[in-house]
Homo-oligomer: A and B are copies of this chain.
């Protein structure tokens, strides 16, 4: 299979971690979101939503939307699981993950922030916008996960950790104050010590631009 993604895309990062955790071999192709490759005709035909990631299976089937891809990966390659088996436990993990995936990431993604800029707001206002949604999201997330486990919900990372770590990457990038979120940065340290997370990091991708200017 082939993953179309972008090094700094936090939704691509989620899927990279899942592929690595499950040991799934996958070719990666870069879609440069900054130069607009996601809206070019060839890619838009692959993913009508003009976003990354898209996962193309060996028979040509295309999967889009990171959360749908993660659920598919978990159903198709169940080991190690991203979700627990009990429905109520699954609902709790999904609720925390979706807190990032719906309440934080979409409001802060490149096209939304780009539109804000086009409405006359400077970089400082755009950064304040992003950090405000992250702070609210991390505050809620901290109360939705377990208080005392190595990872969000237990002894190994799962769907919530896969959403948290990329969002924290973005938080560091934009200088979000993480001092109130020691529980989350503790989980981050433990995740990034795992090879699956380390290899999935933006900086470890072939299309990464070292020390690039904020975009």
The 8 A CB mask of A127-164 against B (1 = contact, 0 = none) is: 00100100000011011100000000000000000000
A56 within 8 A of B: no
Residues of the B chain whose Cβ atoms lie less than 8 Å from the Cβ of A101: 102
Contact A76 B68 (CB under 8 A): no
Tell me whether chain A's interface is mostly helix, strand or loop, or mixed.
helix
A102-B106, A125-B119 known; A63+B49 contact, CB < 8 A: no
A121 within 8 A of B: yes
- Known A63-B88, A76-B87; further 20 A-B contacts with Cβ < 8 A: A48-B140, A48-B144, A51-B103, A63-B91, A63-B92, A64-B144, A65-B94, A65-B98, A67-B94, A67-B102, A68-B92, A68-B98, A71-B90, A71-B91, A72-B90, A72-B91, A75-B87, A75-B90, A102-B102, A115-B129
Can you show 20 pairs from A to B with CB atoms below 8 A apart?
A: A48-B142, A50-B140, A63-B88, A63-B95, A64-B95, A64-B144, A65-B99, A67-B67, A67-B94, A67-B98, A69-B91, A72-B87, A72-B88, A72-B91, A75-B90, A102-B102, A103-B106, A106-B107, A107-B112, A115-B132
